[in-house]
A and B are shown apart, each in its own frame.
Chain A
């Protein structure tokens, strides 16, 4: 066989069978006679084949559209069902893609890691001190580069007005390590790390808002925290950067260069971060094994700060995106469930519609139409419906994403990049194809069940063919199971969320307005020397003078505050092995702090104005502290050690015990137990920052906030006034991510339940129509209305029950898989399960009521007359 023939035969195989049977011979004869080159002929054959298939497709689509136009209600319901299923999928996928799937915007992001420390008590946090970071860089061979970071909140002084910025001090190789280039100017060089260099890179937003997008800003001098810095570059718009710390990745307003040579006092301060890039060919495990050795060396060499500490690296992507990823995958599972339910519904509806053409199709098949052709037509009709549904679904998804934008903005990393883009549309296409096949599966299967003889014999007699009915019932069971699983998971998540926001904080927070921490004007030292109590007193005085403020205090932190301070709880007279002292939360407050929160000492007294820096050192502890660490002694005679400066401390006499307060909610909280806490008077120690808390129960919180701002502005005019908020607002902010997941899952659960119920309604309705003859006969023979009613409803309930049973098992498995996200709520919480099951049974009964009533209204004469 010549090459020409071989190619021709291959190309001819792509033509439809009936065409080939008629024209293949002639075409081969032509090809033999022709002299054109075989490749051109082959190409022409393919072209013809493609064109032919396309023409057939166009004809089938036109035919499908014509048929669908005749049934607008059916089309509307199916398209809506598809729109919900496909739209939900596109929306969630867009979020998943933007937040989790897309690689981070750095060079080779999978090799970037965050340096983390593990303390002697086993506590782990993503932070290292800058000196440790430098040493790791020097000794660890598995890293291609290490950059240290330190978070700051510098104040930009522009035209005499202070602006608070989020900033990051970074080592000079930070940007080049990440592969990030500034849009204007340059990145830092080693020269910027030398002492006194003071270089800064600003963000695009700061450039536009504060400097009017002036292209001459590079080289300009700006004032940060009272010192002059030179702007050397401007970052690209919306640039995200890793802070090496808890925040993962976020946008920074300004980057400043870390001095290359840092004072030794920095080593124990683990408030900085480190980003390390793995060298090519080095795995994370390999690098961590090496780091263990380096840690041991450092612990040995710097025993007073590093003993008992070890360092390791975590993947940056996992740290920044991990938590969001686990919630989003759960939500994604939810929308997949919804898609399955929607396809099952549409499948049932299509099967019902096509079953009315039983006779016509059987005759057509008997006359020689291929089953493939008929199946093809069914699929095309389904595909047209799915595509229409997808168009509406994408519009729905767009609306949903726009509507949720505010909720999502701070709850998920990279939320600003969420949108319907090429990937989302590609995903929509895949979903349309999958949905077409899933939805078409059931009617296709029931089509096969028809041969001419059976159809002609049974046509006219009505009745619900048992095989078809089993298929429909099976789909309903599937829908109910999926809906149960989704509603149960959503219920568990909701319960967990409610438990979190209802966590009693132990203090009276109504009417309390708190401020964010205010940094005292920096003198270039990490801590202030004593003597700035005058500033604190000034602020307090102004706060007290404000109208409507009942009590006011300053504190380092407060419940649900941004700051959490921990210190060793060392009791005088007790011995502890070095490094193994128990921990407690620490706070420093002015006397009215407890009054602001409506807290009264259980024992002893609160602080008062005599507890100044010159008076005897005192302290107050929480009840938990007393229970844990002061057992067997009178707390009012005990003394504990209080840190008063970077290297200073004193023994303080405990003068009071107060009730416990909870300091955090949501993911940050230790939900199971309250932590012990101790308090020192703010005036007795040095601090670089403080916050204000005021009690103003009769003032609108916004007004109270403004008053607090004005007090700060008057006392500290060169420092930007802090943000103020109520405790409730803080709780809401802290639980943003959880709120988002709860709302998303809740909405999906509602959609799933509605779809499943409409599926039940549709199937029961169809069944009643098919059985109307039977009901007519039974009524004619004397059956009671209630009997018919019970028959229909019971049938529906039985099918639902099977779905419920399967769904409950599925829900239990799913709940176990997400147990980490449920917090204190048990994954097998019986209340939730019971409520969901009851809800589904009741709604299924209601959904089947209307068709059941219809069944009782069948006039026997009409039914018997039906032919």
Chain B
């Protein structure tokens, strides 16, 4: 049973949580590959050590934002795969639009220019 309610009560998300969900939005991954993908996507600025990574993963599993899937990695049977739930997806989307709003406001106030996105 999926959780329902207003995703906005959980905003703002911690950077670790947001980036993990971001990476899982595209495809299912296991813990290590999540960490590597996050590091690449942020050009090394957000590095998730195993302590932080699995703590946040456990919390998100408990809260129903991500879920473990029944897939076994052929290379390493110890690894478990995770995917976003639809509830988690809504929360991630809410956070992303919050950030988009912030960027839009920054552009309106000329803090950022359109060339940032070039």
Residues B51 and A44 in contact, CB atoms below 8 Å apart: yes
B35, CB-defined interface residue at 8 Å: yes
Residues A46 and B32 in contact, CB atoms below 8 Å apart: no
Residues A48 and B79 in contact, CB atoms below 8 Å apart: no
The contact string, 1 if C-beta is below 8 Å from chain B, for chain A 22-40, is: 1101111111011010001
The contact string, 1 if C-beta is below 8 Å from chain A, for chain B 78-106, is: 11100000000000000000000000000
Residues B58 and A22 in contact, CB atoms below 8 Å apart: yes
Given A22-B58, A23-B58, also A48-B50 (CB < 8 A): yes
Given A23-B58, A25-B78, also A30-B51 (CB < 8 A): no
Residues B51 and A31 in contact, CB atoms below 8 Å apart: no
Residues A23 and B54 in contact, CB atoms below 8 Å apart: yes
B6, CB-defined interface residue at 8 Å: no
Given A44-B49, A47-B52, A49-B51, also A26-B58 (CB < 8 A): no
Docked complex Cα distance between A33 and B51 (Å): 15
Residues B80 and A26 in contact, CB atoms below 8 Å apart: yes
Q: Which residues of B contact A30 (CB under 8 A)?
A: 31-32, 35, 50, 53
How distant is B64 from chain A, measured CB to nearest CB, in Å? 16
Docked complex Cα distance between A25 and B49 (Å): 15
A288, CB-defined interface residue at 8 Å: no
Docked complex Cα distance between A26 and B54 (Å): 9
Given A22-B58, A29-B32, also A48-B78 (CB < 8 A): no
The contact string, 1 if C-beta is below 8 Å from chain A, for chain B 47-72, is: 00111111101110000000000000
The contact string, 1 if C-beta is below 8 Å from chain B, for chain A 46-58, is: 1111011001000
Docked complex Cα distance between A19 and B55 (Å): 9
Q: Which residues of B contact A23 (CB under 8 A)?
A: 54, 57-58
How distant is A443 from chain B, measured CB to nearest CB, in Å? 29
A41, CB-defined interface residue at 8 Å: yes
Question: Contact partner of A45 among B35, B50, B57, B79, CB < 8 A?
Answer: B50
Docked complex Cα distance between A25 and B78 (Å): 6
Docked complex Cα distance between A31 and B54 (Å): 12
How distant is B53 from chain A, measured CB to nearest CB, in Å? 8
Residues B50 and A19 in contact, CB atoms below 8 Å apart: no
Given A19-B58, A33-B32, also A26-B51 (CB < 8 A): no
Residues A44 and B52 in contact, CB atoms below 8 Å apart: yes
Q: Which residues of B contact A52 (CB under 8 A)?
A: 55
B76, CB-defined interface residue at 8 Å: yes
How distant is A13 from chain B, measured CB to nearest CB, in Å? 13
Residues B55 and A45 in contact, CB atoms below 8 Å apart: no
Residue of A nearest to B48 (CB): A44
Docked complex Cα distance between A41 and B48 (Å): 10
Q: Which residues of A contact B31 (CB under 8 A)?
A: 26-27, 30
The size class of the interface chain B forms with chain A is 10 to 19
Given A25-B78, A26-B31, A30-B31, also A44-B55 (CB < 8 A): no
Q: Which residues of A contact B51 (CB under 8 A)?
A: 11, 27, 44-49, 51
How distant is A302 from chain B, measured CB to nearest CB, in Å? 81
Residues B49 and A26 in contact, CB atoms below 8 Å apart: no
Q: Which residues of A contact B35 (CB under 8 A)?
A: 30
Residues B58 and A51 in contact, CB atoms below 8 Å apart: no
Docked complex Cα distance between A46 and B55 (Å): 12
How distant is A48 from chain B, measured CB to nearest CB, in Å? 2
Q: Which residues of A contact B58 (CB under 8 A)?
A: 19, 22-23
Q: Which residues of A contact B52 (CB under 8 A)?
A: 44, 47-48, 51
Residue of B nearest to A26 (CB): B31
The contact string, 1 if C-beta is below 8 Å from chain B, for chain A 388-409, is: 0000000000000000000000
Residue of A nearest to B76 (CB): A29
Residue of A nearest to B59 (CB): A55
Residues A48 and B55 in contact, CB atoms below 8 Å apart: yes
Q: Which residues of A contact B30 (CB under 8 A)?
A: 26
Given A41-B49, A41-B50, A45-B49, also A26-B78 (CB < 8 A): yes
Docked complex Cα distance between A19 and B31 (Å): 15
Residues B49 and A29 in contact, CB atoms below 8 Å apart: no
The contact string, 1 if C-beta is below 8 Å from chain A, for chain B 2-39, is: 00000000000000000000000000001110010000
Q: Which residues of B contact A22 (CB under 8 A)?
A: 58
Docked complex Cα distance between A345 and B78 (Å): 52
Q: Which residues of B contact A40 (CB under 8 A)?
A: 49
Residue of B nearest to A47 (CB): B51
Q: Which residues of B contact A36 (CB under 8 A)?
A: 49
Docked complex Cα distance between A730 and B59 (Å): 73
Residues A31 and B50 in contact, CB atoms below 8 Å apart: yes
Docked complex Cα distance between A283 and B57 (Å): 65
Docked complex Cα distance between A40 and B50 (Å): 11
How distant is A852 from chain B, measured CB to nearest CB, in Å? 51
Q: Which residues of A contact B54 (CB under 8 A)?
A: 19, 23, 26-27, 48
Residue of B nearest to A8 (CB): B50
Docked complex Cα distance between A45 and B49 (Å): 7
Q: Which residues of B contact A28 (CB under 8 A)?
A: 78
Question: Contact partner of A26 among B55, B59, B79, CB < 8 A?
Answer: B79
Residue from B49, B51, B55 with most neighbouring chain A CB atoms (10 Å): B51
Residues B50 and A44 in contact, CB atoms below 8 Å apart: yes
Q: Which residues of A contact B53 (CB under 8 A)?
A: 30
Docked complex Cα distance between A48 and B54 (Å): 9
Given A41-B49, A48-B49, also A29-B79 (CB < 8 A): yes
Q: Which residues of A contact B80 (CB under 8 A)?
A: 26
Docked complex Cα distance between A51 and B49 (Å): 13
Q: Which residues of B contact A34 (CB under 8 A)?
A: 32, 50
Q: Which residues of B contact A26 (CB under 8 A)?
A: 30-32, 54, 78-80
Docked complex Cα distance between A655 and B97 (Å): 113
Docked complex Cα distance between A28 and B52 (Å): 14
Docked complex Cα distance between A34 and B32 (Å): 9
Q: Which residues of A contact B50 (CB under 8 A)?
A: 27, 30-31, 34, 41, 44-45, 48
Given A29-B32, A41-B50, also A51-B79 (CB < 8 A): no
Residues A29 and B55 in contact, CB atoms below 8 Å apart: no
How distant is B110 from chain A, measured CB to nearest CB, in Å? 38
Q: Which residues of A contact B57 (CB under 8 A)?
A: 23
Docked complex Cα distance between A41 and B35 (Å): 13
Q: Which residues of B contact A51 (CB under 8 A)?
A: 51-52, 55
The contact string, 1 if C-beta is below 8 Å from chain B, for chain A 595-615, is: 000000000000000000000
How distant is B85 from chain A, measured CB to nearest CB, in Å? 18
How distant is B99 from chain A, measured CB to nearest CB, in Å? 24
Residue from B30, B49, B58 with most neighbouring chain A CB atoms (10 Å): B49
Residues of A167-181 whose CB lies within 8 A of B? none
Residue of B nearest to A48 (CB): B51
The contact string, 1 if C-beta is below 8 Å from chain B, for chain A 1-25, is: 0000000000100000001001101
How distant is B72 from chain A, measured CB to nearest CB, in Å? 13
Residue of A nearest to B32 (CB): A30
21 sample A-B contacts, Cβ–Cβ < 8 Å, listed by A number: A25-B78, A26-B30, A26-B31, A26-B32, A26-B78, A26-B80, A27-B31, A30-B32, A30-B35, A30-B53, A34-B32, A34-B50, A44-B49, A45-B49, A45-B50, A45-B51, A46-B51, A47-B52, A48-B51, A49-B51, A55-B59
- Which 10 A-B pairs rank lowest in CB-CB distance, beginning with the nearest? A48-B51, A44-B49, A25-B78, A45-B51, A27-B50, A30-B32, A23-B54, A44-B51, A29-B78, A30-B50
Residues of A within 8 A of B (CB): 11, 19, 22-23, 25-31, 33-34, 36, 40-41, 44-49, 51-52, 55
Extra inter-chain contacts (16) besides given A44-B50, A44-B52, CB under 8 Å: A11-B51, A22-B58, A26-B30, A26-B32, A27-B31, A27-B50, A28-B78, A30-B32, A34-B32, A40-B49, A41-B50, A45-B50, A45-B51, A47-B49, A48-B50, A48-B55
